[in-house]
Structure 1
């Protein structure tokens, strides 16, 4: 059971939230929020809300962060690499973003931060603004607006040459090479009814071809211009606030090492697709729309946009091609809904593989 925070703990937060030094907490409600624990640093999500003695409502979104050693899925990391993974995983990144004072372009903001509560044992809670999202689906207009803002963000934050550029290589080495590729190369995967029903005969071979190109893709990514970025800019992490639908509230910030230009577009493309909310046939038009808008955003900040396409596709392949098929769900009972998810995710793998195979030998050129 999720513990209920004390009034002593909540009172200063509620007073800050309401900008009322005399506010007193009356009622308290804690609502756990379901989430998929895919990010090793996310320990839990909950909404803490209530009223004051004067009847005013208040609400916080609380995100628990922790070291990767507390991750419930740490077992997917092979034992020999686990210690290195835990030591190198930047679990405090999101908390650091809120205190960094990073520049943000028009149309993009952070949720308001009320408290970083250090719980000890490499755990902390972020007490954040509870953003009420506007209704509406992610259509091409919304995708383009988000991509333009991400392009401007990259343009505002050129990479500092003194910072390490190892995050992408570490990710690929641990979660792709050591974990995903052995599964993709197992013939049993391709005979499984959830995969065999939807994968074309060439997909396994094409993913293996891309896997053999990983060293060249990483080298090409290294040669591209680098920027700072959001790091996990899926639609789920770009909230559209109901009281200001012309802007995005960026949450769940990820990698804060320099990344190749165009990096954020990969998660923008695959975010809803991972949840089975994007038809494979919709991916090409989304792909074209977000690339054009991102390039426009870069240009608005005076940054050459010519290599954004190469950075986008190269990092999309490295980060998402080999993990598009949700192999972690193969042990579940086979249902119509699960078949639908695999149909869409296999279609995502096919689309990304086609983009990767179309990259020129020197992917630093566009």
Structure 2
């Protein structure tokens, strides 16, 4: 895929280097993989080069769009499309970079050098390309991330709980469940042909479909229970891939790909922290229990001022189920050639689905 480089690239390079006289000697654009499941990311590129003085420069370029431009949109029932377009928070990431909110010590944002509005609900962000340290995601790193996410929640509480009919606090999650979950993911889960597919049948245990569909029957009660919890502003997609460990030591983590502009229940950010590396197959399913326990304890220690451990645990597990139970198995990959590598991914993802289903079965209404 060829990327058309913009006019004014020299100005961007000068701003990023802090050199008003820099001139570009060469430039390259590299298309980066972003996975088939994204609803709002159109493309990711790394645009890099050198100056005439031999200094290297680089940008991370992210193109985003409204959900109606996504390949998933055509698969959505027609009656759900207008609501999805109106409510899916496709530009949340860009809005955070524009607002530059205050973050806890140890957490920072990447710098956004330029935002191009292409019209028709399409944006292109020219971001700092953060050099990442070769840091392992061991339990200590998971704890450090969860601690900062807990501090983030504690620093941005939203007043009030929902105990009577009113506009729900967790509005984005309700729209997600009513739109993509109800219109795209649950029909796939309910289809017997899905579970007969060799990539699924070989690795999913016989009761997984039953347990996931039983959880689907609890979506509305879980949403109502979440409304009664303390709420905060959140990152929204705090997976390890979006918590970069900067090589220059400028922070513990650089938080990218913010994805949730509305208040969410305490514990919300822990779900993506748990499943992020499990989605890619990097986290062995056998390690899920230890990561789960470590991040919940660290977050609870940081967020103790706004919620008690029981509230945090319920908010974490309930939102994990509502966001991730239906997509734990990568159904979007069923059309690919069933290589040994793909079988291994499905094995790990089926184990992730089982882990989430078991957590969901244990959670009771708050």
TM-score range, shorter chain: over 0.9
When the two structures are superposed, what TM-score results if normalisation uses the length of structure 2?
A: 0.93
Aligned partner of 2:76 in structure 1 is: 77
2:214 aligns to what?
209
1:242 alignment partner in structure 2? 247
Which residue number in structure 1 is paired with residue 53 of structure 2? 54
The aligned residue for residue 164 of structure 2 is: none
Cα offset for 1:186?
A: 2.2
- Could you tell me which runs of 5 or more consecutive residues in structure 1 were left unpaired when the two chains were aligned: none
In structure 2, C-alpha distance between the alignment counterparts of 1:37 and 1:342, rounded to whole Å:
15
Contact kept, 8 Å, 2:232 with 2:263, in 1: the verdict is yes
**What is the CA distance between 1:334 and its match in structure 2?**
1.7
Q: Give the alignment partner of residue 345 of structure 2, picking from 341, 344, 350.
A: 341
The Cα of 1:190 is off from its aligned counterpart by 2.2
Q: Name 1:304's counterpart in structure 2.
A: 307
In structure 1, the partner of 2:258 is: 253
Asked if 1:179 is matched to 2:178, the reply is no
- Give the 3 Å change call, closer, same or farther, for CA 164–135 of structure 1 in structure 2: same
Match of 1:5 in 2: 5
| Counterparts in 2 of 1:196 and 1:3: CA distance versus 1, 3 Å | closer
Distance 1:209 1:164 in 2: 25
> What is residue 219 of structure 1 aligned with on the other side?
224
Q: In structure 2, what is the Cα distance between the partners aligned to 1:234 and 1:323? A: 15
Give the alignment of 1:101-180 within 5 angstroms. Answer: 101-159=100-158, 165-180=170-185
Measured in 1, the distance between the counterparts of 2:262 and 2:38 equals 17
Q: Is the 8 A contact 2:170 2:226 kept in 1?
A: no
> Alignment partner for residue 353 of structure 1, among 348, 354, 357?
357
Structure 1 runs (4+) greater than 6 angstroms displaced: none
With normalisation by structure 1, the TM-score equals: 0.93
Quote the offset at 1:192 in angstroms: 2.1
Q: Structure 2 vs 1, CA of residues 163 and 108 (structure 1 numbering), >3 Å: closer, same or farther?
A: farther
How far 1:121 sits from its partner (Å)?
Answer: 2.5
Tell me which of 327, 330, 334 is aligned to 2:331.
327
Find the aligned partners of 2:69 and 2:192 in 1 and give their Cα distance: 33
Which whole-Å CA distance do the structure 2 matches of 1:106 and 1:183 have between them? 43
Give 1:169 shift: 0.8
- CA deviations on 1:255-314 (whole Å, 9 max, x unpaired) are 110001000000000011111222211100000000011112213xx3334211110001
**Mapped contact 2:266–2:307 kept (Cα < 8 A):** no
RMSD across aligned positions (CA): 1.8
Structure 2 residues not aligned, in runs of 5+: 161-166
Q: Does the CA contact (< 8 Å) of 1:111 and 1:128 recur in 2?
A: yes
